[in-house]
Amino acid sequence: MGERRADHDDRSGVRNGEVAALRAALAAEKAKRRKLKKRIHKEEALIPYQVELLKLQRHLEANNMKMVVLFEGRDAAGKGGTIRRVTRYMNEKHYRVVALGKPTEEQRGQWYLQKYVANLPSAGEIVLFDRSWYNRAMVEPVFGFCTEKEHEDFLRGVVGIEKDLVHQGTVLVKLYFSVTKEEQQRRFDRRRDDPLRQWKLSEIDVQAQEYWDDFTERKYEMLRRTHTSAAPWTVIRSQSKHKARLNAMRMMLDAVDYEDRNPDLDFVPDPAIVVSGAHEVELMEAERIRGGRFTV
């Protein structure tokens, strides 16, 4: 009798365990579907702006205009994902994404900006730089890839070069994606743990947290010295990738007075996400006065 009861209890325990496992699997599946639904909703919210980007592109083509968009910021700040959303439906014949690697031996003997000038747009074309000549303002001095003199010469010279570029008719949009140290680490962890994202994690990325304060100092110096009326910086808070992408599109669309703009669409950048480079410098200086150091 006792053996039958024990056997019955064992079977009940197994069934209860199976039910619990089934419920857990069902809950996980529901959570996965909610996450997917939310992601789809965010992607759909970008579509009206992607339509406007097509209008912008047609305007540039029709008027033989040139546009350059710089995507700068720390590693894992959301630059690449934004570029992919911006270009998703664009005519591939009239835009290019430029992401230059380490300089070749030949390039090391050239004028620093020469490789970037070679990739500037032709008439009717948009070029999006996934990191740009501002590598010399942040990454290169932090990791010792350039001398202090080369860094200083760049900061002194680039303002005049950008001014000439704009005065000659190129539309120049400079976007800096700003992410917190904690969020950057979270994104690095995700890249490390996800086999589909591990290719994104470079040796430079691994060291980014260690050199956080150095990057911050270089960011401050870059914004302070290269934010001008002719070529201003726009800082985009990218804690939320979706909001960063949306507002980056708004900034691009606001840079050109193109035809057939959708009157029902909100083109105003969100002030909680977007600040001017000059205002970011003011915020950083106030933060340093209060706490004795920069943190963002």
Q: For 47-291, which CATH superfamily applies? A: P-loop containing nucleotide triphosphate hydrolases (3.40.50.300)
Which amino acid is residue 145, in one-letter code? F
User: Shortest CA distance to 252 belongs to which of 176, 162, 173, 170?
Assistant: 173
Binned at pLDDT 50, 70 and 90, residue 1 comes out as: low
Asked if residue 5 has pLDDT above 70, the reply is: no
Chain segment 130-184, per-residue pLDDT in tens? 999 999 999 999 999 999 999 999 999 999 999 999 999 999 999 999 999 999 9
* Residues paired with residue 73 on neighbouring β-strands, in sequence order: 177
Range in 59-63, 87-91, 102-106, 283-287 with the lowest mean pLDDT: 102-106
Task: Please give the structure tokens belonging to residue 180.
Answer: 């917190």
Domain extents for the chain? 47-291
Can you tell me the distance from the alpha carbon of 98 to that of 115, in angstroms, rounded to the nearest whole number? 11
Per-residue pLDDT at 39: 77
Task: Please give the structure tokens belonging to residue 147.
Answer: 């001398």
- The pTM of this model reads 0.87
Q: At what angle do helices 2-62 and 241-254 cross, to 10 degrees?
A: 10
